[in-house]
Amino acid sequence: MTATNPEAPPLRVAVIGYSFMGRIHTQAWLTAGRFFDLGTRVEVAAVCGRDATAAAEFAERFGIPRVFTDWRDVVADPGIDVVDICTPGDTHAEIAIAALDAGTHVLCEKPLANSVADAERMTEAAEAAAARGVRSLVGFNYRRTPALALARRLVEQGRIGEIRHIRATYLQDWIADPAFPLVWRLRADVAGSGALGDIGAHIVDLAAHVTGHRLSGVSALTETFVKQRPLAGSSAGLAATADGVGGEARMGEVTVDDAVVVIARTDRGALATFEATRFATGRRNAMAIEVNGSRGSFRFDFERMNELEFHDHTLPAAEHGFRRILATEPDHPYAGAWWPPGHGLGYGQTFVHEVADFATAIVAGTPVEPSFRDGLYVQRVLDAIAHSAANDAAWSAV
C-alpha cells in the first residue's frame, strides 16, 4: 500500500447511522491508519442520525467532532470527502446517488439496495462519478477475511482446478424465539427481504468472489416461520403468558422471509447450493463455503475464521484428505499487518481491511471492489431467488 503522506490533506469521513454497523465502521476508520499505510490521514469528521441525543452520545464516545441529523446536510457539506452509509436498505439509493452526484466518495453497506431498479440507478450514478475520479464500494466485508482471500488466491493459481460444486450456508438463530420483537429487519418496506438479503447476500457475493463464477439461474424456496411478532417496545408482548396473564401483546406482521434454500447453476457449468436462515438454533454466525474442483477443494467456516481447510487432489491417494491452514502468516492476505503468526484476527478486522482498501484506492485514484456493479449482480440474484420462491420454486434466470 501507498506510504502515508503527512502533507496530504486528510480524508474526512461522515458515518451515516450509529447502530451496529455504524459502530463497527467507525471503529474501522479510526483503526485502519494505525495498521495500514493509506497514503493519507483519515478523520471521522461527522456522524449523522435522526435522534440528535443518540447521535451526540455516539460522537462523544468515538471522539467525532460534528453531529448531523439530516443526511442531506452531510452531502452538501464541502468538509466531507467520504460518506459511509450504515442505514437500512430503503435509504441507500437516495443517499448514495446524492453523494456521488455531489462528488463525494461512497461506501454503502450491503445489500446495495432493496430493489433491482434502485441498484441499477446507484450503479449508473457510481459509474458516472467514477469518470470524475469519485470512488464507490459496497460493503461485503467477508471478502477481506484472510483465509477467504487465501482461498481466492488458490483458485486463481489453479490449485482447485475446474470448479464443479459450490455450497454455501449462512446460519444464525437470533430470531428463533417467537417473542423476539418486530424490529426493522423483519419489515419488507425497510429491509427489502429477510434472511435472503441480510445474510444470503453475503454468500451469493462470496461465492462469486472466491470462484469467479456467477449464477445463471436459480430455484428457491423461502419460509416465514413466525408470521406475527410483538411490536418493538411492546412490553406486554414480552411479558404475556400462555393464559394471557400480563396483558394482550400488540402484534405486527412479519413481512420478510425467515429462511431460504436455493439450488443454482453457474455461468461456467458448476452446480451450487445456498442456504440462509435466522432459525438454526445453536448457530450464532455460521457462514460457511465449500468449493470442489478437479484438482482440489477448500472449506471455510467463519466461526473458525482464521482457518482454511484445503485438499490437494493431485497428491497420491495415500495422502488425500483436508488439512488445516492457519491463515495468520505474514504472506497471507492482510494478516501481515497485524500480530505475529498464530495470533488470530476477529470480525472487526474485516471492516478495517475494507476501509483500508477503500481509502488507498481513493488516494491512488484506482478502482476498488466490490463495485456497485458487483452489488447490482447480487441484487439481481436476490430478485431471481424471490421470484422463484414466489412461483413454487420455478426456475428463474439471473
Confidence of residue 249 (pLDDT cuts 50, 70, 90): confident
Pairing mode, strands 251-253 and 228-230:
antiparallel
User: pLDDT tens, 316-371?
Assistant: 999 999 999 999 999 999 999 999 999 999 999 999 999 999 999 999 999 999 99
Amino acid 241: pLDDT: 36
Task: Give the C-alpha separation, 44 to 95, whole Å.
Answer: 18
Task: Give the C-alpha separation, 86 to 32, whole Å.
Answer: 18
Q: Is 60 exceeded by the pLDDT of residue 247?
A: no
Specify which residues 286 forms β-bridges with: 171
Confidence of residue 240 (pLDDT cuts 50, 70, 90): very low
Q: What is the mean pLDDT of residues 256-281?
A: 98
User: pLDDT tens, 190-230?
Assistant: 999 999 999 999 999 999 999 999 999 999 999 999 999 99
Neighbours of 95 (CB within 10 A): 22
Q: What is the mean pLDDT of residues 299-326?
A: 98
Q: How far is CA 322 from CA 147, 194, 250, in A?
A: 15, 34, 52
* CATH architecture of the domain with residue range 11-141: 3-Layer(aba) Sandwich (3.40)
Amino acid 233: pLDDT: 72
User: pLDDT tens, 111-149?
Assistant: 999 999 999 999 999 999 999 999 999 999 999 999 999
Confidence of residue 234 (pLDDT cuts 50, 70, 90): low
Neighbours of 5 (CB within 10 A): 13
Task: Give the C-alpha separation, 85 to 64, whole Å.
Answer: 16
- Boundaries of CATH 3.40.50.720 in the chain? 11-141
Type and span of the H or E element at 223:
strand 215-223
φ, ψ at 100 (rounded to 5°): -65, -40
Q: Share the mean pLDDT of the chain.
A: 95
* CATH class of segment(s) 146-304+306-345+368-397: alpha beta
- Boundaries of CATH 3.30.360.10 in the chain? 146-304+306-345+368-397
Amino acid at 45: A
What the block records as the C-alpha cell of 62 is: 468515538
Q: Is 60 exceeded by the pLDDT of residue 232?
A: yes
